[in-house]
């Protein structure tokens, strides 16, 4: 097996970066906490007003919400949610921790059902009896063969009955009153994809819970890898509890109204196994009538894993093929910009895209030019800056040079946009009223 360090070096030379969505953050920004120089480590073994870790059956996290977050939210007018959790080869302790925390910190009246999608797990890795013993609201759908994360999610949506869909991963600890703020944002605007702040749960000790800083947002580089950047102050009113727009969703944990989901036609059924769902959701929500928001009062501890720590295999070429398919549908005149830093995608076959183009036209979605002008101004600035750091110009005209290293937290840039430029470009975008 090639070491992680060698794999990363090889990927950079090819312009790949890490095609694994959230996992790329680990290599690029070190959970972003290290990027910002902020590491708010706290142990969850301490007691809390919600009982003890022993009685709850999972390590109780600290309350890391901003102090201005409402501690009591009226739930009577909020929609119920179906919580969808696909899983494959997950450790029993992780999935039980996730489930127990959900029922511990979520008002029962807001849960219609917790729907587990077992993606081709062997019988001993389904944990059917253990999960069903936690609550009668748990239902498990067993797929006889692995379909991949994207199709497993689609099965979950097809079986969901509630007005709101909440996607969750099987290695999380949800925190106090995590669901209510997401439902409030959707109630305010039914075309909102609402996402919690993802804190960090340590891989080797579930009781270690680190609060993620809320000073940045999710977005994509031009190779479509997901990153977390901190360009400037993002909350307009200065209130740390105030929800704010984010150019992208990280894709694994969020809430969205089912009616809006169906209207958007998520996901492309020809995307295979893993990778790209977060890109499609981002493009469809922002460009087809909705918005994506980060909600600081909703906190979910998530176990971030490197690719070599994942308990199942992912075919990187299939991920890139999904990216290429999305590029052909969504990047418009900017498709060549994508190829500059993802050159291996250029020769890939993507199959028939007739249905996807027809759907985009029907939804009257905005252009990629609109997206970089009004939603992700960092991406617009990067168009003229991108290259492949670390490879010689003789290999490709898009190489930065063998002596050039990528900017911290990036795989396609030798430098990062400065704050003043961001402020000026963002101000111009806000003049148009889009954010």
- Note whether 259 and 197 are same-domain residues: yes
Question: Per-residue pLDDT tens for 63-79?
Answer: 999 999 998 899 999 99
Domain end marker among 309, 340, 364: 309
pTM for the model: 0.86
- Note whether 282 and 420 are same-domain residues: no
The pLDDT value recorded for residue 389 is: 86
Question: Per-residue pLDDT tens for 142-158?
Answer: 999 999 888 999 999 99
15 inside domain? no
- Note whether 257 and 381 are same-domain residues: no
The pLDDT value recorded for residue 312 is: 60
318 inside domain? no
8 inside domain? no
The number of folded domains in the chain is 2
Output the six-digit token pair for 243.
């929800």
Question: Per-residue pLDDT tens for 216-247?
Answer: 999 999 999 999 999 987 877 778 999 999 99
- Note whether 123 and 27 are same-domain residues: yes
- Note whether 171 and 298 are same-domain residues: yes
Concatenating the DSSP letter of every residue in 374-433 gives: HT-HHHHHHTTT--EETS-TTT-TTEEETTPPPPTT-SS-SS---HHHHHHHHHHHHHTT
- Note whether 339 and 199 are same-domain residues: no
Does the pLDDT at position 116 exceed 70? yes
How large is the average pLDDT for residues 20-49?
39
- Note whether 75 and 141 are same-domain residues: yes
321 inside domain? no
Domain end marker among 247, 278, 309: 309
The Cβ of residue 157 has, within 10 Å, a number of other Cβ atoms equal to 19
Q: Which CATH number is 37's domain given?
A: 3.90.550.10
- Note whether 87 and 125 are same-domain residues: yes
Does the pLDDT at position 45 exceed 70? no
Q: How far apart are CA 414 and CA 83, in angstroms?
A: 41
82 inside domain? yes
Domain end marker among 278, 309, 340: 309
- Note whether 298 and 364 are same-domain residues: no
Q: Are 15 and 388 in contact (CB under 8 A)?
A: yes
Instruction: Supply the range of the domain harboring residue 371.
Output: 331-431
Does the pLDDT at position 136 exceed 60? yes
Residue 311 pLDDT class (50, 70, 90 cuts): low
- Note whether 358 and 424 are same-domain residues: yes
406 inside domain? yes
CA atoms within 13 A on the CB side of 170: 25
- Note whether 91 and 193 are same-domain residues: yes
Question: Per-residue pLDDT tens for 416-425?
Answer: 999 999 999 9
Q: How far apart are CA 369 and CA 372, in angstroms?
A: 5
The pLDDT value recorded for residue 269 is: 85
Q: ∠286-343-267 over CA atoms, to 5°?
A: 35
Question: Per-residue pLDDT tens for 373-393?
Answer: 999 999 999 999 998 888 877
Give which of 79, 111, 103, 65 is closest to 186, Cα–Cα: 79
Mean pLDDT of the chain: 85
- Note whether 130 and 259 are same-domain residues: yes
Output the six-digit token pair for 164.
């709101």
The pLDDT value recorded for residue 314 is: 65
Q: Which residue has the higher pLDDT, 117 or 43?
A: 117
Question: Per-residue pLDDT tens for 171-210?
Answer: 999 999 999 999 999 999 999 999 999 999 998 788 899 9
Torsion of CA 276, 280, 282, 283, to 10 degrees: 130
């Amino acid at each position: 097996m090639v070491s992680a360090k060698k794999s990363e070096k090889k990927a950079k030379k090819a312009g790949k970066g890490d095609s694994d969505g959230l996992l790329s953050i680990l290599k690029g920004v070190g959970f972003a906490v290290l990027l910002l120089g902020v590491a708010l480590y706290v142990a969850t073994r301490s007691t809390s007003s919600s009982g003890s870790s022993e009685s709850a059956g999972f390590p109780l996290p600290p309350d890391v919400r901003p102090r201005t977050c409402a501690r009591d939210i009226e739930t009577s007018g909020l929609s119920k949610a179906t919580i969808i959790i696909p899983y494959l080869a997950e450790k029993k302790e992780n999935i039980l921790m996730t489930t127990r925390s959900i029922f511990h910190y979520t008002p029962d009246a807001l849960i219609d059902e917790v729907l587990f999608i077992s993606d081709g797990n062997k019988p001993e890795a389904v944990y059917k009896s253990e999960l069903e013993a936690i609550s009668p609201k748990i239902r498990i759908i067993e797929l006889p063969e692995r379909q991949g994360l994207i199709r497993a999610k689609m099965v979950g949506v097809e079986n969901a009955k509630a007005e709101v869909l909440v996607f969750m991963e099987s290695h999380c600890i949800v925190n106090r009153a995590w669901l209510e703020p997401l439902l409030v944002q959707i109630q305010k605007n039914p075309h909102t994809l609402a996402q919690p702040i993802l804190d960090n749960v340590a891989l080797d000790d579930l009781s270690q819970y680190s609060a993620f800083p809320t000073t940045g947002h999710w977005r994509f580089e031009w190779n479509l890898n997901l990153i977390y950047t901190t360009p400037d102050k993002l909350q307009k009113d200065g209130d740390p509890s105030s929800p704010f727009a984010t150019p992208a969703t990280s894709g694994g944990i969020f809430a969205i109204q089912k009616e809006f989901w169906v209207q958007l036609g998520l996901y492309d059924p020809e995307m295979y196994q893993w990778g790209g769902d977060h890109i499609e959701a981002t493009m469809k929500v922002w460009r087809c009538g909705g918005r994506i928001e980060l909600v600081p009062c909703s906190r979910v501890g998530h176990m971030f894993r490197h690719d070599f720590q994942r308990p199942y295999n992912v075919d990187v070429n299939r991920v890139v093929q999904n990216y290429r398919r999305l590029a052909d549908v969504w990047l418009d005149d900017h498709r060549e910009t994508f190829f500059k830093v993802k050159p291996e995608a250029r020769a890939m076959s993507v199959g028939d895209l007739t249905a996807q183009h027809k759907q985009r036209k029907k939804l009257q979605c905005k252009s990629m030019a609109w997206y970089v002008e009004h939603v992700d101004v960092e991406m617009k600035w990067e168009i003229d800056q991108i290259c492949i750091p670390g490879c010689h110009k003789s290999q490709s005209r898009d190489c930065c040079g063998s002596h050039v290293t990528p900017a911290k937290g990036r795989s396609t840039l030798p430098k990062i946009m400065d704050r003043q430029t961001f402020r000026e470009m963002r101000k111009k975008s806000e003049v148009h009223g889009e954010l």
